[in-house]
Amino acid sequence: MDISVIVPALDEEAQIAATLASARGTGVREIIVVDGGSRDATARIAGQHADLVHAATCGRALQMNAGAALARGEVLLFLHADTRLPRGFDVAVLAALADPAVVGGRFDVCLAPSSALLILVGRLMNLRSRWTGIATGDQAIFVRRAVFESLGGFEPIPLMEDVAFSRALKRRGRIACLSLAVETSSRRWREDGPLRTVLLMWWLRLLYFCGVSPERLRRRYADTR
């Protein structure tokens, strides 16, 4: 098996080079960046580090689906543009998928730059994910290509596409919760405040599970920014 790393990006010139450098590994067949119309140098910088840069309609689900359609690997790994993979990530992914019962998985996460409170936030995120089997996009979700295609990819919704996909994936087989941690930017928590951000994310997820449409959730999320 080999891995296609798919990175949806929008105005991430400060982060994209380091993210793509972290995504290289012996088990990686290709790195695909799907740009959603960046107004900065994201696409140009990505072109220096990725195997393919593709332009698509803006929207994380739409961009990830576009990248998956171009990918040739047997495993798809979806990586946010502000998240860095740990050394040996490819070995860990392929080892997990050596078990035919495992359909996909995710990594633990740590927030950087960090603080005592953000360390706690990261640990709670990891515990919540292990308990529920639900991953967020910050955790670098990976999946067998055949399973991804059978699920129809990510729902083309403006928010909660990662949660919706995780719920669907759980019904197909075992989920590998890797203890290796990706490092994701803590800028959202630092800008909006850790407690406020955690409460907002839990509130949005609760509303989503109660049936509130992702379009309405997106408007509520935008109103709090």
Task: Find the length of the chain.
Answer: 225
Provide CB contacts within 8 A for 32, sequence distance 6+: 4, 5, 6, 7, 50, 51, 52, 53, 54, 67, 70, 71
Q: How far is CA 178 from the centre of its chain?
A: 14
7, part of any domain: yes
224, part of any domain: no
Number of domain units in the chain: 1
Output the pLDDT for position 125: 86
pLDDT greater than 80 at residue 127:
yes
220, part of any domain: no
- Picking from 180, 203, 186, the residue whose alpha carbon sits closest to that of residue 121 is 186
Q: Domain of 109: which CATH number?
A: 3.90.550.10
The β-bridge relationship of strands 52-55 and 28-35 is: parallel
- Can you name the residues that pair with 110 across neighbouring β-strands? 183
194, part of any domain: no
Instruction: State the average pLDDT over residues 151-173.
Output: 93
209, part of any domain: no
Instruction: State the average pLDDT over residues 175-187.
Output: 92
Residue 42, domain extent: 3-187
Residue 143 phi/psi, 5-degree rounding, is -160, 150
88, part of any domain: yes
Instruction: State the average pLDDT over residues 42-50.
Output: 98
Output the pLDDT for position 223: 45
Alpha carbons 178 and 160: distance in angstroms, whole number:
22
Instruction: Give the containing element (helix H, strand E) for 128.
Output: helix 116-132
204, part of any domain: no
197, part of any domain: no
Output the pLDDT for position 224: 41
